[in-house]
Amino acid sequence: MQEYTSSKTWKVISIILCSLFLLWLFYIVVFIGLSRHSHHGWALKIWVGIPFSILLFLLIVYTLIEPVIAKLIIGEDSIRFKGAISGWEISFAEIRGYRIRDKWILIEPLSKDRKRISIKTIMPGTDQLIVLLKSKYPDLDLLERQEGYKNLLDDSRYGKTTEERTEKLENATGASKLMNATGVIILLLSFVFKIEKYMVAVAIAAPLVFIIIVRGYNGLIRIADSKNSPYPAIPYGLCALLICLIIKCARYSILDYRAVWLPALLVGMFLVAVLMVANRNFSSVTKARIMGIVLITICSLVYGYCTVVTVNCLYDTSHSRYYRARVLDKWISRGKTTLYHFKLSRWREEVDEKHIRVSMEVYNRLDIEDAMNVYVYTGKLKIPWYVITDQ
């Protein structure tokens, strides 16, 4: 029997880090207490900030202490783990195989009634555990990849012979890499001011072009797939396009968001429908695929919202209407970053008071009752939007 515990060096490091985080918690509590003299959000800081800080501190301490207290015991016929709160034991005869995922080792039991065992690679003895598992049991991720690849090459839908199917898979893999790279390139080029409008238009149209290409490969290319799937997928290209639109959309302020929701919903649901038709992977229903459908729906709705706002504002050629607003209040909020806030008066009857964030320079330059300039635009899609400046 072999017993593994953490080294003395790690124990000393953990104690030092816990002490530093304890000082950090003390600082947070004292800071929130001192901020009671500020009338902005003090109650929220008390009831949310302090409990959240304590919970975060306890989580950090547990993360640091767990490897110090933990013991991994490899016996003659079983593996046993004792942690700070819980532990587990499994005999060699009960193990079906293993998986190694980033910072985790996963041990799969033979019985479906027993839960999968997870252990972090930072725990003591995990290097020896990996050696043991590799010597006795199969890598289930590798087996799934090999089985999936074999099933794909045996699928007659992709060609009459194995050679033909192999060639089509290689072509599909190349096409997926090209689409992923194209999405990233479009994202980068969208920051070049002179061609921004053209690249954003390409970013809006590219998902539909990608889907047409995916459909043309008859299911060989997937929108997204599991880690062990042999099918090439294009998640990086689509994510890059979505990030591009989110960044561009975030620059604009809409006067009345009620006018955005319906067109955004229609665009998003249209993309969901097209993606479902294009991705054969959703033809059968499993738990993982349901989660995939939910994720695609969320991303499509975000795409619809960002597309509507960006098209409405970036391509707007209307003349602005000028208004004046007064600074009713100003305050600073501190957290991970320091934020500067203004509360502006109404500048039209149908517009409520607005809370905006400003730069430190603007915050220091303007005082309460000072004026700010408001420029309201009609919008390409007839959705009014505005820009606020201090000059």
The Cα-based distances of 93 to 25, 312, 374 in angstroms read 47, 64, 73
Instruction: Name the residue with tokens 């009620």.
Output: 258
| CB-based contacts of 27-35 (< 8 A; 24+ apart in sequence) | 28/53, 29/53, 31/334
Answer yes or no: are the C-beta atoms of 350 and 285 closer than 8 Å: no
Cα 200 to its chain centre, rounded Å, is 22
Residues in the chain: 391
- Check residues 160 and 56 and name the one with the higher pLDDT: 160
Q: Residues 358-383: what's their mean pLDDT? A: 89
Q: What is the CA radius of gyration of the chain?
A: 28
The pair of structure tokens assigned to 9 is: 């060096």
User: Starting at the edge strand that comes first in sequence, how are the strands of the sheet with 385-389 ordered?
Assistant: 253-254, 385-389, 371-377, 321-334, 338-344, 354-358
Q: Which residues of 58-89 are buried (b: 16+ CB within 10 A; e: fewer)?
A: eebbeebbbbbebbbbbeeeebbbebeeeeee
Indicate the DSSP class of residue 139. Answer: B
Predicted TM-score (pTM) of this structure: 0.72
Q: Residues 203-222: what's their mean pLDDT? A: 89
Q: Is 39 exposed, middle or buried (0-12, 13-18, 19+ CB in 10 A)?
A: exposed
Kindly report which listed range (243-247, 331-335, 348-352, 376-380) carries the lowest average pLDDT score: 348-352
- Which of the listed ranges 81-85, 222-226, 384-388 does the model predict with the highest average pLDDT? 384-388
Q: What residues are paired with 12 via a beta bridge?
A: none
pLDDT tens for 46-79 read 555 567 667 777 777 777 677 777 788 888 889 9
